[in-house]
């Protein structure tokens, strides 16, 4: 059991640290332009065009970019995925080509509905998605030691699932038309992203990456 917990902690630390570093570069960059692969594939070598901010935008901070979070975090995360702009907008992930919506992903992550079998497979019909519920994850030693709240664990679960596609879209502000479907309607998922950032800050304090 201890080995499994340690492995989970190391894996989670690596994933979140890499993704947080990536998101920071989007805000820090002045401009980045590139063409997508000719076939529009979402391979690991593909590059995307993004909307990058100025130095002033960097100093404005994350909340200046996405909006202020709801101080009632659990309520805010639920509202962002089930009531606010874009909650029923379909999107397709770039990695496994899963088509879903924020509402559906929230319901799956919270156990309100089961994940369809097709959404757990890649294009070669290999199972690539393993679902972990908040109630199960919060019993892990790493979550206890980090003092993670349920809503912080939920944000991690959502981000490490298909919702990474939407959150990255919000932070990139690209593609502009898709971005406007969310932010133009007042939904920048600020509560979810704030909870995720909090979890990312806490976890490294109680874990050590492998040498």
d(CA 3, CA 1): 5
User: Are the C-beta atoms of 147 and 206 separated by less than 8 Å?
Assistant: no
Q: H/E element holding 91?
A: strand 91-92
d(CA 69, CA 71): 6
Tens of pLDDT, residues 95-121: 989 999 999 999 999 999 999 998 998
What is the pLDDT, as a whole number, of residue 40? 45
Helix (H, G, I), strand (E, B) or coil at 21: helix
What is the pLDDT, as a whole number, of residue 123? 83
42: closest CA among 113, 99, 125, 106? 99
101: closest CA among 80, 122, 121? 80
CB count, 10 Å around CB of 43?
9
Neighbouring C-alpha atoms within 13 Å toward the C-beta of 210: 8
What is the pLDDT, as a whole number, of residue 51? 55
Output phi, psi for 68, to 5 deg.
-85, 145
CB count, 10 Å around CB of 109?
25
Higher pLDDT, 4 or 163: 163
Higher pLDDT, 83 or 56: 83
Domain boundaries, the chain: 2-206
Which range, 1-10, 17-26, 62-71, 192-201, has the best average confidence (pLDDT)? 192-201
């Amino acid at each position: 059991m201890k080995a499994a917990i340690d492995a989970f902690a190391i894996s989670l630390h690596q994933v979140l640290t890499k993704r947080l570093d990536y998101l920071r570069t989007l805000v820090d960059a002045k401009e980045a332009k590139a063409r997508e692969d000719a076939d529009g594939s979402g391979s690991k070598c593909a590059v995307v065009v993004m909307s990058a901010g100025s130095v002033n935008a960097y100093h404005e901070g994350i909340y200046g970019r996405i909006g202020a979070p709801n101080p009632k975090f659990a309520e805010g995360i639920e509202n962002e995925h089930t009531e606010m702009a874009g909650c029923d907008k379909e999107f397709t992930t770039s990695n496994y080509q899963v088509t879903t919506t924020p509402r559906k992903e929230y319901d799956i992550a919270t156990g309100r509905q089961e994940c369809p079998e097709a959404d757990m497979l890649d294009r070669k019909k290999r199972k690539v998605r393993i679902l972990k519920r908040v109630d199960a994850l919060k019993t892990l030693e790493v979550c206890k030691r980090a003092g993670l709240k349920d809503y912080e664990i939920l944000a991690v679960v959502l981000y490490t699932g298909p919702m990474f596609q939407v959150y990255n879209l919000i932070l990139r502000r690209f593609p502009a038309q898709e971005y406007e479907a969310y932010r133009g309607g007042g939904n920048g998922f600020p509560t979810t992203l704030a909870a995720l950032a909090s979890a990312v800050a806490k976890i490294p304090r109680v874990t050590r990456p492998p040498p």
